[in-house]
Amino acid sequence: MKPRFLRLVSWLAFIATLGFAPAAFAVEDRAIGISSEDQAMKKAIIDARAKLPHFWQIMASPKHGETEFALKVRVADGDAIEHFWCTDIKIEKEIVSGVIGNDAEIVTSVRLGQRITIKEADISDWLYIRDEKMIGNYTVRPLMKSMNQEELAFLKDHLGELPKD
C-alpha cells in the first residue's frame, strides 16, 4: 500500500469506527459518539451495502487505475461490537478475507494486522481509490457534521463522488 494511502486508511480508522451500542472514538484527542439509533449512519450503511456489487465488480476488474480496496467490517465479541477497516482484500475459493487496519478499542477478538475471514453480512462500508480520491466510504459522510475544519478540509481533498451505477 502506498504510504499516503496507508495514512489515509489509518486516519479513516480513527474517524470511522462505530458500534451499534453507544461508542466513542478518538480524533485528535477528542471523542465522537455514534448512537445506535443514528438514522444518517444507518442509511449510510444501507446505501453502502446496496452498492457492494459495484465494489466487487471494480475490484475484480479495475479499469481506471482503481487501487487500495478496503472493506469496513463489523466484528462482534459477545455483546461488544466494533467496525474495522480491512485492507489487502482477498477472495479465495469464494471466501473473502482482509487485514484489520486499526487497533481494537472495544472488542478483544481481533488485533491490528490480523487477517480475518469476512462474511458479506458483516460488511458495513467499502472504499477504493481512483485518481487519488476515495470512492465509497459512505459511513464517513454522516460523521462530517462532528469534524473540525482540518478534518473537513482533508476529506474535501480526498473524498470522491459516490457511484451512480
Where along the chain do its domains lie?
Answer: 3-149
pLDDT of residue 75: 95
Q: What is the pTM for the complete model shown?
A: 0.80
pLDDT of residue 37: 67
Neighbours of 28 (CB within 10 A): 10
How far is the C-alpha of 146 from the C-alpha of 152, rounded, in Å?
9
> Residue 34: what pLDDT?
58
C-alpha–C-alpha distance, residues 10 and 14, integer Å: 7
**Cβ-Cβ contacts under 8 Å for 54 (sequence gap 6 or more):** 163, 165
Amino acid at 88: D
Phi and psi (nearest 5°) for 102?
-150, 160
Cα separations (Å) of 28 from 11, 32, 150, 153?
10, 11, 11, 15
Of 86, 132, 77, the residue nearest 105 (C-alpha): 77
* Alpha carbon distance 2, 39 (integer Å): 34
Tens-binned pLDDT, residue by residue, of the chain (165 aa): 444 444 444 445 444 432 222 232 223 323 334 555 678 989 999 999 999 999 999 999 999 999 999 999 999 999 888 899 999 999 999 999 999 998 888 899 999 999 999 999 999 999 999 999 999 999 999 888 888 898 888 888 889 999 987
Helix 3-16 / helix 149-158 crossing angle, nearest 10 deg:
130
Cell of 115: 487477517
For the chain, the distance separating the N- and C-terminal CA atoms, rounded to the nearest angstrom, is: 27
Q: Which three cell numbers stand for residue 144?
A: 462530517
